[in-house]
Amino acid sequence: MNTITEEMRAELTGRIIPFWRGLRDDEHGGYAGTVSFDLTRHPEADRGCIQNSRILWFFSEAYRTLGDAELLDEADHAFAMLRKMTDGERGGVYWSLHPDCSPADTVKHTYCHAFAVYGLSAYRAASGSGEALERAKDLFRIMETRCRDEDGYLEAFTADWQPAENRQTSGNGVRAVRTMNTLLHVMEAYTALYRVWPDPELRDRLINILRIWETKVWNPEKRRQEVFFDREYNSLVDLHSYGHDIETSWLTEKTLEVLDDPALTERIRPKLLAMADHTFREAMSDHGFANECCRGIRDEKRCWWVQAEALLGFLNAWEKTGEARYRDAVLTQWRYIRDCVSDPRPGSEWFRYVHEDGRPGSDEPIAEPWKCPYHNGRMALEFLKKAPKL
């Protein structure tokens, strides 16, 4: 474990951080939106708000963990770009901007707003910025007035907040009105905000999100989450998202931690551990962690984010249960990531996915609006915090 901790630190400081620092664009602001598989940078690509918010979160948390002032400077740079992504007239943040900072995609999406809150909350914790906290609080109020109805959170809206088709977080042949993924990351964002702003209404929202998850998303018979829903929470497709299940199994623990409600934890935690156990049995192997199973057909791609979340999910399960199989899964996952998913080419980061036989997916970019230092950066930061205590 000590050896892996040092390898993880080297991955963070020698590969992930330098790659993303190298994409900084001082001319236009923010970070280059896309790096193709051949490592060509595309500063002309649009800048996604999700990507920028995650970069803001990453450099803020990396600064808090490592104490390097240059990392806080990177967070300052990402914060400046997030200001430009805000619609000052109608509220909220745009999906993306052109490099000249004019709006590219003006969709207002709940998922996108959640990550803006997440990044701003981390930046507040790192820098003490009062502006960041006020912006996060404003977005929280917008999400609660614009992005939800009496039954939970909706997905996509036009620039003037009219309902729109949810192209952004749907998939697997359906168009979802509600999604597990958006609910998960609203919870994650509100948890981060609660750490820097312990507001009673925010606490109530977090408790309500857990209630929705427990009664609408969690499938106790299949020991998994349902993924895509209509407005009444009817599941739209038979889909077992292994990556989201293992991610939820540890990420929800963060919410239970800040709420500090023993009865709530006692009720929710067994369900989280059941998910970790089920994915361990269904998706784990010596050659990485499978992606998903849709309508009975398994996707055996080893996606970069799924590998990172599996490592953290099993780390949490080991911490909570002490079971050696989860410890061994952590070690197996790290070795697989180190040997197959981390791109050994100088100046690169991680492959977006790897085939089951170990070949990297050369048809996907190394960086793009959805691929940023959130999953793998968070894996390294969380591991460095947790491993010494285990």
Report d(CA 158, CA 342) in Å as an integer. Answer: 38
Residue range 78-114, pLDDT digits in tens: 999 999 999 999 999 999 999 999 999 999 999 999 9
Which structure tokens are listed for 56? 């803001």
Q: What is the mean pLDDT of the chain?
A: 97
CB atoms within 10 A of CB 242: 27
Give counts: helices (H), strands (E), the chain: 13, 20
On whether the CB atoms of residues 375 and 61 are closer than 8 A, the answer is: no
What values do phi and psi take at 72, rounded to 5?
-65, -35
- pLDDT over threshold 90, residue 33: no
Report d(CA 348, CA 354) in Å as an integer. Answer: 15
**Per-residue pLDDT band at 140 (split at 50, 70, 90):** very high
Residue range 283-338, pLDDT digits in tens: 999 999 999 999 999 999 999 999 999 999 999 999 999 999 999 999 999 999 99
What values do phi and psi take at 290, rounded to 5?
-65, 160
CATH number at residue 321: 1.50.10.10
Instruction: Tell me which residue range forms the domain holding 20.
Output: 2-389
Residue 103 pairs with which residues in a beta bridge? 97
- pLDDT over threshold 90, residue 389: no
- Please report where in the chains the tokens 């190394």 appear, as a residue: 366
Report d(CA 147, CA 142) in Å as an integer. Answer: 7
Residue-level pLDDT at 188: 98
Report d(CA 99, CA 45) in Å as an integer. Answer: 7
Report d(CA 323, CA 303) in Å as an integer. Answer: 26
Residue-level pLDDT at 321: 98
Mean pLDDT of 213-218: 98
DSSP conformation letters of 289-321: E--EEETTEEE--EEHHHHHHHHHHHHHHHHHH
**How many domains in the chain?**
1
- pLDDT over threshold 90, residue 9: yes
Residue-level pLDDT at 308: 98
- pLDDT over threshold 90, residue 258: yes
Mean pLDDT of 22-43: 95
